[in-house]
Amino acid sequence: MGTINSYKDLIVWQRGMDLAVACYEITKDFPREEAYGLTSQIRRAAASVPANIAEGHGRDGTGNYVQHLKIAQGSLKELETHLILSARVGLLDAVKADVVLMKSDEIGRMLRALIRNLQDGKK
């Protein structure tokens, strides 16, 4: 494992960015009337994941960092809900939804592990 000099070095942040890009891609074909609905909600929740990881990394103290990682987890669950809803109402192909949901699940596991390690004092 390499040295972490920046939040950009964190694999969980990198995967979060990949997830956000994937969410922008899959919502490009959503109907125009969803621009302020699910399209916006999915994109905002997806962008919030790496943004909160980065913000937490830049804060003083482990407690603040962990708090922002937990916010990222919440955004991830919000995103998953919007993706599932989009598939259920026919805005998103179920296969595409599953691919993005698998990425989300992986990031969730990574966030839980990072939080656990930080709370145990292992940076």
Is residue 13 within 8 A of residue 54, CB to CB? The reply is yes
End-to-end CA distance of the chain: 12
Domain spans, the chain? 7-119
CATH code, residues 7-119: 1.20.1440.60
Mean pLDDT of 112-120: 95
Model pLDDT, residue 117: 94
Q: What is the pTM of this model?
A: 0.92
**Residue 18: which pLDDT band, with cuts at 50, 70 and 90?**
very high
Residue 107, number of CB atoms within 10 A of its CB = 24
Name the percent of the chain lying above pLDDT 90: 89
Distance of CA 67 to CAs 2, 16, 30, Å?
24, 17, 33
Model pLDDT, residue 115: 97
Which tens digits make up the pLDDT trace of 48-83?
A: 999 999 999 998 889 999 999 999 999 999 999 999
